[in-house]
Structures are given as structure tokens and as C-alpha cells.
Amino acid sequence: MAQRGKINAYLDCNSPYSLYALTWLRKNKQLLSDHDVDVDPILHPIFLGGLNVGSGNKPPWTLEAKAKHGAFDGPRAAHYFGLEPLKAPPFFPIMSLLPLRCMLFIKDHFDNERFEEQFAELWQAYWRDAMDISKPAIMTECLKRHFSSEEAKMIIEGGTSPKYKKLLTDETAKLVEKGAFGAPWFVVRGREGVEEPFFGSDRFAFMLRYLEVPFSDVTIEAKGGKARL
């Protein structure tokens, strides 16, 4: 008997393409659920630096050809997902350990909607407002956009505790063991209960096909006639 599908998305705020994935998933959560795809929790913080080291991958900004291509591809991707292009702050990339550990703490102690709202806020604060959220005082200000001062203090304390330091390390290591080498990374459970990996914010058509969810693929409109595949 067919099972419910499941998408697990692994993201880091150092990755602009993680924001595009997050935006698409949050926008389509209800539709996915309507098609028997589990969506809560769908987002998982992981440390991209650890994925790169563990897999031997190199960040695109360290490779000249990838960096040059990113100047074209980034704005195109942002436009496709209905967002303004992101501009890297002068301190990019940050050591994203603190914000990600804080997100793991939030995930354990608050409802999923607040978790998702704050996760999305990391990109707003970091990429658009040029806030170095790797610093506790600045991360606290970011948290206070969705949490009270008391809650923000509790989250920072939790995020710097040994438990959540270890949890982020462990979650990242598990993903490396599954073959991950970048973000956004997805582990998708199909109708037969079998999981497959997907990489990148431009792989949703592949994921939906694997999940047997009906969707409209890219089409070319025939001149003066009906659209064709």
C-alpha cells in the first residue's frame, strides 16, 4: 500500500539558494499536504561548512568560474522565486554555528510556525539588513523580531549549550554519511517508503515526480497554438 510522502529540507543561512528552497516549501506546504506529503517539520538546520569539509566540496565563491557564474545565476534564481536578489554583506560568509544552534533550540521548544518564521528571518537579517548574526548580541536582536527579550535570552543560552552544539554537529555528520555535499539538500521519502537525495533549489520538479504529485512542468507555447511539452 502506498505511503505518505515526506520532504526533509536541510538548510544553512550562508546559502542563498537555501532561502529560495525555504520560500518555495513554505508557499506550497498546504498543497503538498493535500497530496499526502508530510510537511511538518520540513526544515532542518545544518552546518554547510561541515558538509563541505566532510564531503570534500568547495564553496562556490572559492572557485573563480563558479563565482563568476553566480553573478548571473543568483539574480535569475531570486527572480524565479519572486524575491529581490540577495546582496552578500562585507563580512560574508559568517561562521553560522550560533544561528543554526539557536534554530535547533527553537525547533525543540516552540511551535513549528514560529520556528519557520525565525528561520526565514535569518536571511532577512543577514543578507538584507547586513547583520552579523554570528555574534550573540546581534543574533539576540534578530531573535527579538519574533520573540520576547526573555525568550531571546533563553534561546541564546540554549544555542550556546553543549547539547545544541553537539546536536548540530551530529545532524550535519549524519547528512554527510548520507552523501550530502551542499545546501539546500533534500531527503525525500517516496510512496514506497524509499528515500532518495536531491540537491539544489531547482529540483522541485524532480522531487514532485518522485512523490507522484501532479504538477505543471516547464512548457513551450506553440506559436499561435496550444502549449506543448
Catalytic residue (one of 15, 18, 96, 134)? 15
Q: How far, in Å, CA of 40 to CA of 206, rounded?
A: 21
Asked if residues 84 and 27 have their Cβ atoms less than 8 Å apart, the reply is no
**Residue 35: DSSP 8-state:** T
Question: Residue 12's closest CA among 161, 185, 152, 173?
Answer: 185
Other C-beta atoms closer than 10 Å to the C-beta of 120 total 16
Active site residue 15: yes
Q: How far apart, in whole angstroms, are the C-alpha atoms of residue 186 and residue 8?
A: 5
Q: What Rg do the C-alpha atoms of the chain give, in angstroms?
A: 18
30 secondary structure, DSSP code? H
Cis? peptide before 93, omega within 30° of 0: yes
Question: Beta-strand (E) ranges in the chain?
Answer: 5-11, 37-38, 43-45, 185-189, 195-199, 220-221, 227-228
- Scan for cell 546559502, then name that residue: 15
Annotated catalytic sites, by residue?
Answer: 15
